[in-house]
Amino acid sequence: MSEFWADIGCEIHAELSSLNSKLFCCCPITYGAPPNTATCPVCLGFPGVLPVVNEKAVEAVLKVALALNCKINPVTKFDRKNYYYPDLPKGYQISQKYLPIGYDGWLEIYVNGKAKRIRIADVHLEEDTAKSIHGEEAGDPTATLIDFNRSGVPLCEIVTYPDMNSLEELEAFMVSLRQLLLYLGVSECRMERGQLRFEASVSLRPKGSEKLGTRVEIKNLNSFRAVLGAVEAEIKRQKEILISGGEIVQQTMLWNEALKITEPMRTKETAHDYRYFPEPDLVPIVFSEFWLNSLKAEMPELPRQKFERFMREYGLSDYEAGFLVAIPVTADYFERATKVCKDPKAVANWMLSDLQGLLKEAGKSWEECPILPQNLGEMVKLMQDEIISVRIAKEILKEMFVSGKSPKQIVEERGLVQITDENELKQIIEEIVAANPKAVREFLSGNEKVLGFFVGQVMKATKGKANPQLANKLVKEMLEQAKVKAS
């Protein structure tokens, strides 16, 4: 009786922040600029102004639709979504209702190695509203100020079917979608800047039942954590109502992060009456075969394809490939470094462990990595050529991270070339053996572990420059000789 299925859907608004200008005017797309400095009569919604479509925005949404395996409407057009709010001075938002750019697509997600397709209902282009700044943030607890810099910024809206049945699937979907948008280069997807905004819908139904339950929407979720927290709380709330014999009311909720509960925003009829009608100031857009084909040719390699290619072409594990393709910048970094040294496994290892560690410590992102990929590749090459040891490589990595110098330059400046000369090493080992008679006696009495001590001393004496394999071999030889002499 108390067993329920959750059906979760998503609506995503992605700002096409990588474009140079807004959707219907030439104003730049800014973040953090002084309020109302990136505006003009068009995006301020003055009466009588005429919108002109930004072709790049249409192409960006078309690419998203293609990447989401959507059908493309050969003719697409804009519609007015009418409602009144201070951040929307025209009294309507120019959006797409009847002929969106894309529809009926899917995105494949992977949870515990199992693939699942989340169906996409609709991918369309619309304009963003201005931003309301309330209370304290506005410098006056009783005031609301409006910043029109965001007004008219192109948004790609993506609507899914309620195909996700768990928080794990929801998270996998959000991560995959963000990854896809980053790969397409249409949005920077910085959630803290509102460039990627999620709304979720949640309904429950008794397990085994085919009929979807009454859905509740949750708005204004500005981080993955907020989405997951809100949906988890909403599932719990609905479950409790259903178990106690109550009924779910169709409504829109807001997430209260502090109390970890969802709270009603407004009750909702079956649908808002936005009185959508065709935008009379914009002509429909026809996608010619030529335009579509040239855009298809421009499509980058998508995350899943890259993931599979990395395993196939470079022999990486799924963990390594997954880490590297997570964002385009690491995938790119990896391939550039590998080109130099032709040792993909080693590059992946350095990136996943030491370099990732240095970045974390410095609070830097991969975009800000001070080591050029060519330099990491060169460092791996120096190791392959036995010019430096692993230990020296670790030191060089740290120095490259600080100075940005090339590994060759560091090796030359600091005289870090590995000692591979047998005679030079033998001399050093002889001195160490002579200085540690007690350890030698221990070795003679059968304690083989002392070998490690001697090799350690050699590395110390050479500041890590001794070739470790060679040092190991020579120490062994010399102690064996001592054994022969002693017997």
Q: Which one among 127, 157, 199, 378 touches Mn ion, defined by CB under 5 A?
A: 157
CA separation, residue 233 to residues 12, 110, 399 (Å): 20, 24, 48
Residue 410 identity (one-letter amino acid) = I
Instruction: Output DSSP code: residue 387.
Output: S
# of chain residues touching Mn ion (CB under 5 A): 1
Q: Is residue 130 close enough to count as binding Zn ion by CB under 5 A? A: no
Q: Which does 66 bind (CB under 5 to 8 A by kind): Mn ion, Zn ion, none?
A: none
Comparing every residue's Cβ against Mn ion, the nearest one is: 157
DSSP-assigned letters across all residues of 64-114: HHHHTT-EE-SEE--EEEE--BTTBTTSEEEE-SSS-SEEEEEEEEEETTE
Rounded least distance, CB 9 to Zn ion, Å: 33
Contact between residue 371 and residue 355 where contact means Cβ atoms under 8 Å apart: yes
Rounded least distance, CB 290 to Mn ion, Å: 30
Q: Which does 43 bind (CB under 5 to 8 A by kind): Mn ion, Zn ion, none?
A: Zn ion
Residue 229 identity (one-letter amino acid) = G
Whole-angstrom Cα distance, residue 270 to residue 249?
A: 11
By beta-carbon proximity to Zn ion, the closer residue of 42 and 471 is 42
Rounded least distance, CB 181 to Zn ion, Å: 24
Q: Which does 347 bind (CB under 5 to 8 A by kind): Zn ion, Mn ion, none?
A: none
Whole-angstrom Cα distance, residue 471 to residue 473?
A: 5
Q: Is residue 27 close enough to count as binding Zn ion by CB under 5 A? A: yes
Q: Is residue 348 close enough to count as binding Zn ion by CB under 5 A? A: no
Rounded least distance, CB 77 to Zn ion, Å: 22
Q: Is residue 122 close enough to count as binding Mn ion by CB under 5 A? A: no
Maximum Cα interatomic distance, the chain, rounded to a whole number of Å: 106
Among the candidate windows 35-43, 155-163, 182-190, 240-248, which touches Mn ion by CB under 5 A? 155-163
DSSP-assigned letters across all residues of 268-331: --SS-----EE-TTS--EE--HHHHHHHHHHPPPPHHHHHHHHHHHH---HHHHHHHHSSHHHH
Q: Which one among 31, 36, 40, 453 touches Zn ion, defined by CB under 5 A?
A: 40
Q: Which does 40 bind (CB under 5 to 8 A by kind): Mn ion, Zn ion, none?
A: Zn ion
Contact between residue 24 and residue 151 where contact means Cβ atoms under 8 Å apart: no
**Coil, strand or helix at 338:** helix
Q: Is residue 25 close enough to count as binding Zn ion by CB under 5 A? A: yes
Interior/surface letters 430-448, b for 16+ CB within 10 angstroms, e for the rest: eebbeebeebbeebeeeee
Q: Is residue 43 close enough to count as binding Zn ion by CB under 5 A? A: yes
Rounded least distance, CB 153 to Zn ion, Å: 10
Among the candidate windows 40-48, 230-238, 400-408, 421-429, which touches Zn ion by CB under 5 A? 40-48
Contact between residue 315 and residue 348 where contact means Cβ atoms under 8 Å apart: no
Q: Which does 25 bind (CB under 5 to 8 A by kind): Mn ion, Zn ion, none?
A: Zn ion
Rounded least distance, CB 22 to Zn ion, Å: 5
Q: Is residue 94 close enough to count as binding Zn ion by CB under 5 A? A: no
Among the candidate windows 21-29, 142-150, 284-292, 364-372, which touches Zn ion by CB under 5 A? 21-29
- Could you report how far apart the first and last alpha carbons of the chain are, in Å? 83
By beta-carbon proximity to Mn ion, the closer residue of 95 and 375 is 95
Rounded least distance, CB 129 to Mn ion, Å: 9
DSSP-assigned letters across all residues of 455-474: HHHHHHHTTT-B-HHHHHHH
Among the candidate windows 19-27, 103-111, 251-259, 387-395, which touches Zn ion by CB under 5 A? 19-27
Rounded least distance, CB 50 to Mn ion, Å: 22
Rounded least distance, CB 45 to Zn ion, Å: 10
Contact between residue 158 and residue 166 where contact means Cβ atoms under 8 Å apart: no
In this structure, the dihedral spanned by the alpha carbons of residues 356, 361, 364 and 365, taken in order and rounded to 10 degrees, is 30
Residues that bind Zn ion (CB under 5 A): 25, 27, 40, 42-43
Residues that bind Mn ion (CB under 5 A): 157
